[in-house]
Structure 1
Amino acid sequence: MKTIFPFLALLILAIACAEKKEPPFQTSQIEKTWWKEGIIYQLYPQSFKDTDGDGFGDFKGVIEKLDYLESLGITAVWMNPFFDSPLVDNGYDVSDYRAIHERYGTMEDFDAMLAGMHERGIKFVLDVVVNHSSNQHEWFKQASSSRDSEYRDYYHWWPAEKGDPPYRYSLFDPEGGWDYNKQTDSYYLHTFAEEQPDLNWENPKLRQEVYDIMKFWADKGVDGFRMDAFQFASKDITYPEFPEGHEKDFIKWYGMRPPLHDYLKEMYTEVLKPYDVFAVAEGAGSTMEDAHKLVDADRNELQMAYHFETVDVSRTPEGYTLKELKDVFTRWDEAFAEEGWIAIFLANHDNARMVSRFGNDSPEFRSVSTQLLNTFLLSMRGTPYMYYGDELGMTNMDMPTIEEYVDIDAKGKYKGALAANENMEAFMKVLNYSSRENGRTPMQWDTTEHGGFTTGTPWKRVNPNYKEINVALQEDDPNSVLTHFKKMTALRTENPVLVYGSYTLLQPEHEEIYAYTRELDGKKFLVLLNFSETESDIELEELKGINPENVIINNYTETSIKGISITLKPYQAIIYSL
């Protein structure tokens, strides 16, 4: 009998371990870093605050609002490009990587802005656009002037005497990814607009130029880099013929080629490690394996995966199902529970407004549904990227005709739809809902003309609802979206469990309520989110013994609990301490 008891004890322990999906994390198991603990606020500079009346936001406008940024409780700012540029793609076509476009100010203004952020404990993430440059960059001017130019191999070329180049898809040009250069009788490659020729990362000299640019900004004190479109940087320079229809699986054919990892390891050695800065690439490939190869610590490449599957669940006015959202977030969390790190977001400059896509932007539910979404983002594992204006509940703006659009992406898609004889009424309905131009409208500061954004004519008209949605109206309102946002950033900052804690999804099949726990070092939070516009019930054993003292976040003033059952109001968001 004495030999049976140890065996039974081990058997019971094994069964208990098998039933537990994920052991509670301990702080000692985790490598802590500022960028994991960060709350990153994406700021679109031309739409944030204008101080000179030209209708475009500028550095001095950001400086004027530094105290506001600090008050939000965010820890870092990612700013979209402000380099010298012809602005074909709003700055994502760079003509000089070491110069500031005059609309934003001077290098001295940038230095003052950066110093002001650092004085307030806010780090700065630079948007680096090096999959391509502008065709007005000196490199391309030289490369396109002669086949013998020393800069010729900084770009991808196809000599006309070889015949037509093999078809390559372009995200912005319905005619394809090659454009003819008469002066050298050859074609150059562009993944985006024809004014954005792709850089040749297979050329070591080009790579060193990029590292030197990154060092220039790291020497100035920037704390991190967001690498735009970087999963497409490596190209197959044999230019094989791709199968018909390949563009429907664009990332598979154009992204994540194996040499990219060699370049990232080189970048890590040259820049990221010696300067102790972090980097995140736009995109994470098409598989979890791709993403892990980018960011697992032992790879010595990037530090964070920024994927698009979350925003892809809601691309049309038909919307999404909560099960889809749960599936995506849970799959990515599980894949990165023990190794690597991911970004958490629902909006950015390439997407429509968060509350209009994932919440409910009607006057009745806009505030509570935005509060719910912010509660969600700031209580998930990973680094949250919060987009400017989402702390207020800024919404999409009705733009039913193509004449109102200035974005090259919208115009390119419209041109392609016309050429394909699509139903243009249906096309415009989807564009009006999903266009990234919705997410670029000027920041709504107060009820004065143009929402206090500018004293001039804004580059893009301000959403007419600025008189109901603005900073001035919400700052002193204890029930506002802005006040709730600040409560959530404070809660996350004060509770490592919301950063590093294990995530366990509860009742995955529930069609209206997203419920999960976060657990670390014996501390456990229960998050309950009703994603519907009606009341909804859920029964959870975790609710046993819950009382009002356990509530740490609630976007309503009351809650109905009976035993282990709770009724959540429309878009109610509650966090309990268990």
Structure 2
Amino acid sequence: MDELWYKDAIFYAIDVESFQDGNGDGVGDFRGLTSRLDYLEDLGVTCLWLLPFFTSPNLDNGYDVKDYYSIDSRLGNLQDFSEFIAAAKERNIRVIIDLIIHHTSNEHHWFHAASNDPSSKFHKFYIWSEEKPEKTPPPSFPGQENDVWTYEKRAGAFYFHHFYSFQPDLNIDNPDVQYEIMSIMEFWLAFKIDGFRVDAATFIMGDNGVKEDEIRNPVGFLKKLCKTVTDKNKEAILLAEADVEPQKIPDFFGKGERFNSLFNFILDNYLFLGLAREEAQPIVEALKLPMPPKACQWTNFLRNLDELNLGKLTEEERQDVFKKFAPKEDMRIYNRGIRRRLAPMLNGNRQHLEMAYSLLFSLPGSPLLIYGDEIGLGENLDLEGRTSVRTPMQWNAGTNGGFSTVPAKNLFRAPLLQGPYGIKKVNAESQQQDENSLLSWMKRLTRMRKHCREIGWASATVQNTDNPQVLVLTYEYEGNALLIAHNLSGKPVRFKLKSRRYHARQLIDIFGNRKYEPTTEETIQLDLDEYGYRWFRVNRLKIESKDGN
């Protein structure tokens, strides 16, 4: 058994409807996804995170669940899902799925029953108020929702929703709701999945701003979730979407008995500030976050399939990132985020892209890619909201980019056909045939990360240098040591380590943006190209000072 497998994981997020059409109806599905598992195995990812695939009105990319026990008929059925899981396991690829228990669709039968009969038990599944409360938190989607309370005529009352009005919040404090949640989890665990990504965990743990929506014993509820998972599968995990302030992070990890992993939203904010300013210091500050308990892990990312949420930055810092990576208004969303893919944000600069992904894979924790990252997929800003980053995967330069064989008019969403990120210039097939492509490079990166277990298991130490544009991290684990350097600037640099523990002459190159001159006994300074990176093994590790600086 490998109960801590997630500490070595390389996660890969997939929107099933956008990945591969397997039955020729213009929508991605589980048959199509199964047919691409060899590609994913070759890429080197070890765990797939599937975005929602349940029956849904699909007003919010499936996060408005109508039925937790069935699959959106466009994507397949439970048999297709079961066959997909079995095929993934044959390739040693794990699968986690979204667990959306903070809210339902307003088309869910619970909500219909709650609205039609206020005396039914289902009425207490949601949060109601006969009068609209005066003090309420701001809506999560400013510009698209103006309030968090919506009147329901059938019930003669207002219902609460943190997100869209078609997503009423569940009253998770209700034991009957908790029972239903555990039943949902047990149902999907029976398919041998490897865990859940818990949506909106921030609010589930009580950070709501609405007294009626708070769980009186959130830790007790979380322990129930964990027990439900581990009773079915000792290796299954809970990965939390918890965008919280640093002082609240221990509430989610506990002593290692709560969530197994958290998305590192704080680090992501300061990663982009560092990339925008071409300075290491913002990243250094974010790395001061305390390490999770030994059995827990950070999951790091550059982009996910929502907006790049910069809510942790000051207004001045956010504007610096906007100016660099989202200079036009239509590239921004909710006054706090960017609705773009990474490749166009970096103007398609291959060196810059490599450095950013190398940096991601070298940060303490486990890295997450989103589908298409590996080929430099672009976005479509003509699409509404966050859908801009969920265009179909581009497999080849043929019809519909190889995503589907149907006439273009029958596609649920079109791939990018024209421009620098269109199917003729960006597709997996052409890159598979080119050993110098971004895809081929990404395969080398995933292989290198698997050989450097120190990153997933040890804490990172920032090493001081004489150049503010260079970030140097070291890891020590089981007698081995790594030193990894990144140049965040678009100009070549030469720098010197300010360390009594590590010396340039000790370093052996194992991965980099090019083949650099090997270090020698005389080496004092190290070189990095513009947006350059170098991964080193440390030879003859000195131990005069454990402080390292």
What TM bracket, shorter-length normalisation?
Answer: 0.7 to 0.9
Partner Cα separation in structure 2 for residue 329 and residue 237 of structure 1: 25
Bigger helix share: 1
1:361 matched to 2:344? The reply is no
Deviation, structure 1 residue 260: 2.1
Cα deviation code 1:306-330 (max 9, x no counterpart): 2322333478999445335413541
1:439 matched to 2:394? The reply is no
User: SS of 2:79's equivalent?
Assistant: helix
AA partner of residue 453 (structure 1) = F
Query: Could you say which residue in structure 1 is the equivalent of 2:299?
Result: 343
Query: Could you say which residue in structure 2 is the equivalent of 1:572?
Result: 532
Cα deviation code 1:406-432 (max 9, x no counterpart): 3xxx3xxxxxxxxxxxxxxxxxxxxxx
Using a 3 Å threshold, how does the CA distance of structure 1 residues 335 and 316 change in structure 2: closer, same or farther?
Answer: closer
1:63-462, aligned counterparts within 5 Å?
63-159=34-130, 162=131, 166-172=135-141, 173-233=144-204, 239=210, 259-276=217-234, 277-287=236-246, 289-298=247-256, 300-313=257-270, 319-323=276-280, 325-332=282-289, 334-336=290-292, 340-351=296-307, 352-357=340-345, 360-362=346-348, 365=349, 367-397=350-380, 399=381, 404-406=382-384, 410=385, 436-456=386-406, 457=408, 458-462=411-415
Using a 3 Å threshold, how does the CA distance of structure 1 residues 60 and 132 change in structure 2: closer, same or farther?
Answer: same
AA partner of residue 471 (structure 1) = A
Partner Cα separation in structure 2 for residue 311 and residue 576 of structure 1: 24
Partner Cα separation in structure 2 for residue 492 and residue 319 of structure 1: 25
AA partner of residue 361 (structure 1) = N
Q: Percent identity between the aligned chains? A: 29
AA partner of residue 460 (structure 1) = R
Residues 196, 238 of structure 2: 8 Å contact kept: yes
Using a 3 Å threshold, how does the CA distance of structure 1 residues 163 and 231 change in structure 2: closer, same or farther?
Answer: closer
Match of 1:529 among 482, 486, 490: 486
Query: Could you say which residue in structure 2 is the equivalent of 1:554?
Result: 512
Partner Cα separation in structure 1 for residue 237 and residue 80 of structure 2: 24
User: SS of 2:375's equivalent?
Assistant: coil
- Report 1 or 2 for greater relative contact order, CA contacts < 8 Å, sequence distance ≥ 6: 1
1:33-48, aligned counterparts within 5 Å?
33-48=4-19
Query: Could you say which residue in structure 2 is the equivalent of 1:515?
Result: 472
Cα deviation code 1:94-147 (max 9, x no counterpart): 000010001111111111111100111011101011100001111001001121
Using a 3 Å threshold, how does the CA distance of structure 1 residues 339 and 92 change in structure 2: closer, same or farther?
Answer: same
Using a 3 Å threshold, how does the CA distance of structure 1 residues 449 and 319 change in structure 2: closer, same or farther?
Answer: farther
Residues 22, 33 of structure 2: 8 Å contact kept: no
Partner Cα separation in structure 2 for residue 170 and residue 264 of structure 1: 25
Cα deviation code 1:170-197 (max 9, x no counterpart): 2234321010011121010111111100
Cα deviation code 1:470-506 (max 9, x no counterpart): 2112213222221222122222223322321331112
More displaced stretch, 164-173 vs 141-150: 164-173
Partner Cα separation in structure 2 for residue 296 and residue 235 of structure 1: 15
Using a 3 Å threshold, how does the CA distance of structure 1 residues 356 and 291 change in structure 2: closer, same or farther?
Answer: farther
Using a 3 Å threshold, how does the CA distance of structure 1 residues 38 and 514 change in structure 2: closer, same or farther?
Answer: same
Deviation, structure 1 residue 576: 1.4
Deviation, structure 1 residue 282: 0.6
User: SS of 2:374's equivalent?
Assistant: coil
Partner Cα separation in structure 2 for residue 337 and residue 234 of structure 1: 19
Using a 3 Å threshold, how does the CA distance of structure 1 residues 449 and 325 change in structure 2: closer, same or farther?
Answer: farther
TM-score by length of 2: 0.82
Partner Cα separation in structure 1 for residue 268 and residue 239 of structure 2: 17
Query: Could you say which residue in structure 2 is the equivalent of 1:478?
Result: 435
Residues 128, 227 of structure 1: 8 Å contact kept: yes
Partner Cα separation in structure 1 for residue 383 and residue 430 of structure 2: 29
AA partner of residue 405 (structure 1) = L
Deviation, structure 1 residue 526: 1.6
User: SS of 1:148's equivalent?
Assistant: coil
AA partner of residue 440 (structure 1) = R
Using a 3 Å threshold, how does the CA distance of structure 1 residues 239 and 522 change in structure 2: closer, same or farther?
Answer: closer
Partner Cα separation in structure 2 for residue 286 and residue 236 of structure 1: 11
TM-score by length of 1: 0.79
Deviation, structure 1 residue 56: 2.2
User: SS of 2:373's equivalent?
Assistant: coil
Structure of larger gyration radius: 1
Cα deviation code 1:64-118 (max 9, x no counterpart): 1010011111111001000000001010000000100011111111111111001
Residues 229, 282 of structure 1: 8 Å contact kept: yes
Cα deviation code 1:41-82 (max 9, x no counterpart): 111212111233433211111111010011111111001000
AA partner of residue 167 (structure 1) = T
Residues 392, 470 of structure 1: 8 Å contact kept: yes
Partner Cα separation in structure 2 for residue 551 and residue 180 of structure 1: 63
Deviation, structure 1 residue 220: 1.1
Q: How many residues align?
A: 490
AA partner of residue 327 (structure 1) = V
AA partner of residue 570 (structure 1) = E
